């Protein structure tokens, strides 16, 4: 079990990566807050909340909000339609945009996916380019399910911690970016 600071940092990294992906895909609107929705399972997994009683659960969320305030401002956490809604104020979104400008891997990947002639080789080359920069290894596998065709990720998670699940065909190209936990939940659910 991780200590609270490690859990809070893990959650913070996930939240920041998710918001930054949205900025790269959709653009950056200065002065706008952002809402991120987490499934109950993922939220409780990232913060290891499953075994806590109600008071411990509430106290942990208060501590998380306090811990994250120095980076993002005062975040809000609520429940909406059986999902956790995390609202990051505009100052936090500004911080995330500035703090992640050097994340060229995600920018290059999204640019590649936007190309009309994007293909597996082009996507794989983006992964290889960044893995070679910092001595990581790219794993590329055919998927054994109906939801996507290929999975690709960095073995040592030095470049990026997510598992990318790609669908690439004549009609469309898209990906889902999943935590290892979400990916395992999806795969185990299909079996």
Residue pLDDT, tens place only, 134-152? 889 999 999 988 889 999 9
Domain ranges of the chain: 4-99, 104-190
pLDDT (tens digit per residue) in 88-110: 999 999 999 999 999 999 999 99
| Helix, strand, coil share of the chain (percent; to 5) | 50, 20, 30
Task: With a cut of 80, say whether residue 185 has pLDDT above it.
Answer: yes
Q: Which residues contact 57 (CB under 8 A, 6 or more apart)?
A: 49
What number does CATH give the domain 4-99? 1.10.10
Q: Find how far residue 118's CA is from the centre of its chain.
A: 22
pLDDT single digits (tens) 39-69: 999 999 999 988 888 899 999 999 999 999 9
Q: Tell me how far the alpha carbon of residue 81 is from its chain's centroid.
A: 21
> 6: burial class by Cβ within 10 Å (0-12, 13-18, 19+)?
exposed
| Strands, sheet with 34-39, edge to edge from the N-terminal-most edge strand | 34-39, 83-88, 76-80
Identify the CA nearest to 175 among candidates 147, 139, 146, 142.
147
């Amino acid at each position: 079990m991780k200590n609270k600071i490690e859990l809070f940092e893990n959650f913070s990294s996930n939240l920041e990566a998710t918001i930054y992906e949205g900025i790269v895909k959709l653009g950056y609107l200065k002065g706008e807050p952002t809402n991120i929705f987490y499934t109950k399972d993922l939220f409780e997994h990232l913060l290891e909340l499953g075994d806590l009683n109600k008071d411990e659960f509430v106290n942990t969320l208060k501590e998380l909000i306090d811990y994250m305030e120095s980076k993002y401002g005062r975040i809000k956490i609520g429940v909406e339609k059986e999902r956790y809604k995390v609202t990051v104020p505009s100052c936090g979104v500004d911080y995330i945009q500035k703090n992640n400008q050097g994340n060229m891997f995600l920018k290059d990947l999204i640019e590649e996916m936007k190309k009309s002639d994007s293909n597996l080789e082009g996507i794989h080359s983006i992964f290889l380019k960044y893995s070679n920069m910092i001595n990581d290894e790219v794993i590329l596998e055919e998927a054994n399910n109906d939801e996507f065709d290929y999975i690709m990720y960095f073995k040592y998670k030095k470049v990026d911690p997510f598992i990318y699940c790609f669908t690439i065909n004549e009609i469309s190209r898209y990906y889902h970016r999943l935590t290892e936990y979400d990916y395992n939940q999806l795969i185990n659910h299909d079996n």
